[in-house]
Structure 1
């Protein structure tokens, strides 16, 4: 079994994969954020688009998401703080030149009709 990319120490099949495959809905904003990180790591751009709120989806094109996901090697995720509708995290990765990078973000999520969506984020 593969450990989940999100750092939960659970098997991927029992952690983020059911969310990414649409079998289950992420129960919290943090669970959605973790599954979105796993989707970047596994290049699941459709899930990333589908879990972006419709009000900001136009700013997140599938081709650009897929290109960014595939051009980086995702190393690990560190959740720094989580509230009901926000998550502050650092995503560690190697860029296409194999330079170590950190994506540091405070993300905002919204719950609509029983589903969580990523709305936007502040980047540091």
Structure 2
């Protein structure tokens, strides 16, 4: 069972969708299920932002998932910009989401740019892998 969230349901979601957490990423974090690859991507960013390694592992495809995941508590994830979406809809089998995620570490701002690949198996979207381009 996932740990209780440090974010109130009526607060803005960390994924910067503009929606409140309770109707954006919270249901996906709680269930591990997203209707689209984009929603899964947003929930995975939020999981990094709140330190929910369990959600990240549960939504990672078994063929590429690490045995464990140790998140850096010093990194503060502050913004997610979606740059492109290819497929990943409710009836697609695959999808790609390109994004830039902004973070702070030791007072320095930086970003991570990635094209993430997703697959839908048994009606569940899973993160597979990525092509990285660090900013």
TM-score w.r.t. length of structure 1 = 0.90
Q: Please, what is the CA RMSD of the aligned residues?
A: 1.2
Equivalent-residue separation in structure 1 for 2:110 and 2:127 (angstroms)? 22
Give the drift of 1:54. 0.1
What are the equivalent positions in structure 2 for 1:4-83 lying under 5 Å apart? 4-22=13-31, 25-58=33-66, 61-62=68-69, 64=70, 66=71, 68=72, 70-83=73-86
| Structure 1 unaligned spans of 5+ | none
Equivalent-residue separation in structure 2 for 1:13 and 1:98 (angstroms)? 30
Aligned equivalent of 1:119? 128
Equivalent-residue separation in structure 1 for 2:46 and 2:61 (angstroms)? 18
Equivalent-residue separation in structure 2 for 1:44 and 1:76 (angstroms)? 17
Query: Post-superposition, which runs of at least 4 consecutive aligned residues in structure 1 deviate over 4 A?
Result: none
Give the drift of 1:71. 1.9
TM-score w.r.t. length of structure 2 = 0.83
Equivalent-residue separation in structure 1 for 2:130 and 2:68 (angstroms)? 16
In proportion to residue count, which structure has more helix?
1
Equivalent-residue separation in structure 2 for 1:105 and 1:54 (angstroms)? 20
| Structure 2 unaligned spans of 5+ | 1-9, 88-94
Aligned residues: 117
SS of structure 2 residue aligned to 1:122: strand
